[in-house]
Structure 1
Amino acid sequence: MASLQNQSEFETQIPAEILIARLIQLHARISKLESLRPSKQVNTLFTHLVKLCTLPSDIDIKVLPQDVLHMRENLILVCGQAEGLLELEFATFLSKFPRPLNNLTLFPYYGNYVELASLEYRILCDNGVVQPKKVAFVGSGPMPLTSIVMATHHMKSTHFDNFDVDEAANDVARELVASDSKLEKRMKFVTRDIMEVREELAEYDCIFLAALVGMNKEQKLKIIGHIRKYMKAGGFLLVRSANGARAFLYPVVDEADLPGFELLSVFHPTNEVINSVVLVRKPLFY
C-alpha cells in the first residue's frame, strides 16, 4: 500500500526539466516588464510563478547548470522587489482606513502569513519558547504581518522590535500599528542595517530573520554570523529559508550554513506556504 502511495506521489510531481523550461519562459516575460509595481500583468505573472514553484517537484538546486542558477538569482531579486512594492502599496492603501488592522485580510497573501506565523509559533513552543519577553524581527518591511499576527494571536505580552533599512517602509508600518494603542506600546520600528546592530542583539530572547534579508548566500551567511556573534547565549534564531522549487523565490539556508548553532528544527511546507522554517539556538557556552 505504501509503495502505491509513493508511486502516486511521484507521478504527481512535475519533472525538473519541465519545471525549469516553464521557469525560463516566465522569467523571460517578467524581465520584459517595464515596472514591478502591482498591476494586472505583474500580479498574473507572479501568481503563475508562485503556483509553479509550489508544485511537488524533486528538483535539486545544487546540481543546476550555471545559466539556470543565474536565472534563479535574478528571479529572487525581482521577486523581492515586487513583494516590497506590493506590500508598500497595500500598507499605504490600508493606512487610509480608520482601523487598518481590521482590514488586513484584503492583502492577497494574508492567509499565508497567518498560517506561517501559526506554524512558527508551534515550532517555538515545541522548543520551549512560549511567551518571550522581547523579540526582534529583521526585515519587517512596510507591512509587518508576522509581527502583527504573532503579537495579536500568539505572543500577547511580547515586545517586538522590527528592524528594516528602509525608513519609508517603517513610516508606513508605524502608521498601521498606531491605529491600535495597545499594540503600538509593544511594537517598535527601527531603521538600521542589522549589521550595525551589535550589543542590543543580546536583549532578545528570539530573533526572526526574514527570507529576503541577505539576497544571496554570501550576504545571508555574513548576517547570520553577525547575529550569532552578538545575540545572547541560549537565545533562539528563527531563519526563513526555501526548499525545492521554492528556492527560485527565496534564498536557501542549509544546516551547513549555521555553524556555532544548535539545530532544533527544520520544517519544509508542502502546501501553499512558501517559506521553510529553521530554528536554531546559540549554545550557553560558546
Structure 2
Amino acid sequence: MSSDDLLIAQITQLHSSISKLESLKPCKQVNSLFTHLVNLCILPSSIDIKSLPQEVQNMRESLINLCGHAEALLELEFSSFISLTPEPMKNVTLFPYYGNYIKLAHMENKILKENGVVNPKKVAFVGSGPMPLSSIIIATHHLPSTHFDNFDIDHKANEVARKIVASDAALEMRMKFVTQDIMEVRERLGQYDCIFLAALVGMSKEAKVKILGHTWKYMKEGGLLLVRSAKGARAFLYPVIEECDVVNFEVLTIFHPTDDVINSVVLLRKPKA
C-alpha cells in the first residue's frame, strides 16, 4: 500500500467516525476527530483528487459538507461567547485557529501586493461567517484604510459578527455586514477593487464555478478576485478550483502553501474588454 493509499484509508476511517456523530457541535470527541483529520490532510502527498475512484470522490464530498457544518458550529459557538465579553475585539485571539488565520492573511496580502494591489479603496469578503477573522485581520494588520463589505447568507452569523466588530469604533466605521446570497448581488459587485471568496462558498466545484461566473459578469474590469482552494489531501477539507475552471479570468497566481495553512490561493483578474 502506497503512502497516499494509506492516507486515504485513514481519512476514510475518520469520515466514517464523523458521520456517526449525533451532533457536530464542538465537544471533546468532535474536536479530537477534526483535529486528527486536519493533521492528516496537511501531510505532504501527491494525491490528485480527479484520479480517485468514485467511492472516494463521494466520501470526499460528504466530508467537505461535514467539515463545513462543523466549522460553522465552531465559529458560531466562539463568536457568540466572544461577543458577550467586555471587549470582544481583544478576545478574537481565543479562537482555536487564530494563528492559522494570521498566516493566511499574511500570505494573501503578500500575493495581493506582488500583483499591484496596495491599499484598495473597497473590498468585498464573500462568506465571512459568524467569526469574520480574515476580514478583521486583513483590515487591522494589512489594509488599514480599506473599506470592507462582508457578505454572508446567514443573518445570525452577521448579527454576531457585527457585535464583535462594534467593539472597535474605528474598525466599525469601515466594516459593513450584508445578509445576501452572492448569486443575488449584481451591480454592487462592480464597486470593489478586490473580492475575496471564502473556501466554503460553493461547497462543490459546480457551485463554485457558477459563483465565479456570476462574479465575473458583475465585477469591474481590472478588478481582482481572490479564491481560496486546496491541493493534495487538503482537498478532503475544501473544494478545489483549478486553472481550467476559470475560463474568462486572467490567472495571476496560484499558490499552494506547504506549512499548516490549509488553503491554496488563486488570484484572478477580470481582463479589461
TM-score with structure 2 setting the length:
0.99
Question: Which 5+ residue runs of structure 1 have no aligned equivalent?
Answer: 1-13
Match of 1:69 in 2: 57
2:35 is matched with which residue? 47
Structure 2 gaps of 5+ residues are none
Separation (CA, whole Å) in 2 of partners of 1:190 and 1:234: 24
Separation (CA, whole Å) in 1 of partners of 2:157 and 2:92:
17
Q: 1:234 and 2:222 equivalent?
A: yes
Q: CA deviation at 1:163?
A: 0.2
1:151 maps to 2:139: yes
Residue 24 of structure 1 deviates from its aligned partner by: 1.1
Correspondence for 1:56: 44
**How many angstroms does 1:106 deviate by?**
1.0
Task: Measure, in 1, the Cα distance between the counterparts of 2:139 and 2:86.
Answer: 20
In 2, are the aligned partners of 1:131 and 1:158 still within 8 Å (CA)?
yes
Q: Which residue of 2 aligns with 1:123?
A: 111
Aligned to 1:264, the other structure's residue is in SS state strand
Distance 2:19 2:210 in 1: 29
Residue identity in the other structure for 2:30: V
CA offsets per residue over residues 74-132 of structure 1, 9 Å max, x none? 00000000000000000001011111111122111000001000100000000000100
Equivalent position amino acid for 2:167 in 1: S
The 5-angstrom pairing of residues 56-205 of structure 1 reads 56-205=44-193
1:237 counterpart SS class: strand
- Measure the CA separation in 2 of the matches of 1:78 and 1:24: 13
Q: Which has the larger radius of gyration?
A: 1
The reply to whether residue 249 of structure 1 matches residue 232 of structure 2 is no
SS at match of 2:125: strand
Q: 2:136 is matched by which residue type in structure 1?
A: I
Q: Distance in 2 between matches of 1:209 and 1:181?
A: 26
TM-aligned CA deviation for residue 21 of structure 1: 0.7
The superposition leaves residues 165-224 of structure 1 with CA deviations (integer Å, 9 ceiling, x where unpaired) of 000000000000000011001000000000000000000000000000000011101000
> 3-state DSSP class of the match of 2:225?
strand
Structure 1 segments, 4+ long, off by >3 Å, are none
SS of aligned partner of 1:189: strand
SS at match of 1:208: strand
Looking at structure 1, the residues matched to 226 and 8 of structure 2 have their Cα atoms a distance apart, in angstroms, of 30
Give me the whole-angstrom Cα distance separating, in 1, the residues matched to 2:12 and 2:236. Answer: 11
1:238 partner amino acid: L
- The residue type paired with residue 225 of structure 1 is G
CA RMSD of aligned residues (A): 0.7
